[in-house]
Amino acid sequence: QSALTQPRSVSGSPGQSVTISCTGTSSDVGGYNYVSWYQQHPGKAPKLIIYDVTRWPSGVPDRFSGSKSGNTASLTISGLQAEDEADYYCCSYAGTYTWVFGGGTKLTVL
């Protein structure tokens, strides 16, 4: 059960859009529509921002959106804001009541 692959870092200017990819296998990302995304600010607990590939928990702005194609899921953040600067993690169900996280991506807002 290997960690999902995410880019180490991405960056964008305020108002722009950025996309973070999350690549797994047919045993996790590709096998289930159960990919979630988490935002983690320094020193804080992670916060769920997308679940079931495309769904938003209550209170999460629709600037955050998710998608999936094959074994790769993506998180797109549009209209970048300074407070979006954080670490982002994908997480996929991997069957038999197990989950796997991605390695994390550091988003820098320029």
Partner 1 sequence: EVQLVQSGAEVRKPGESLKISCKGSGYVFTSYWIGWVRQMPGKGLEWMAIINPRDSDSTYSPSFQGQVTISVDKSFSTAYLQWSSLTATDTAMYYCVRHGYYSAGYPGTPVYWGQGTPVTVSS
Taking the C-alpha atoms of residue 2 and residue 64, their distance in angstroms, rounded to an integer, is 26
Can you spell out the DSSP letters for the chain?
-PPBB--SEEEE-TT--EEEEEE--TTTGGG-S-EEEEEE-TTS--EEEEBTTTB--TT--TTEEEEEETTEEEEEE-S--GGG-EEEEEEEE-STT-EEEB--EEEEE-
- Stretches 11-19, 60-68, 77-85, 93-101: which one binds partner 1 (CB under 8 A)? 93-101
66 binds partner 1 (CB under 8 A): no
96 binds partner 1 (CB under 8 A): yes
Between 82 and 97, name the residue whose CB sits nearer to partner 1.
97
Q: Which of residues 39-58 bind partner 1 (CB under 8 A)?
A: 40, 45-48, 51-52, 55, 57
User: Do 80 and 64 form a contact (C-beta atoms < 8 A)?
Assistant: no
27 binds partner 1 (CB under 8 A): no
Least distance from partner 1 to the Cβ atom of residue 45, Å: 4
13 binds partner 1 (CB under 8 A): no
Q: Which residues bind partner 1 (CB under 8 A)?
A: 1, 3, 34, 36, 38, 40, 45-48, 51-52, 55, 57, 87, 89, 91, 93, 96-104
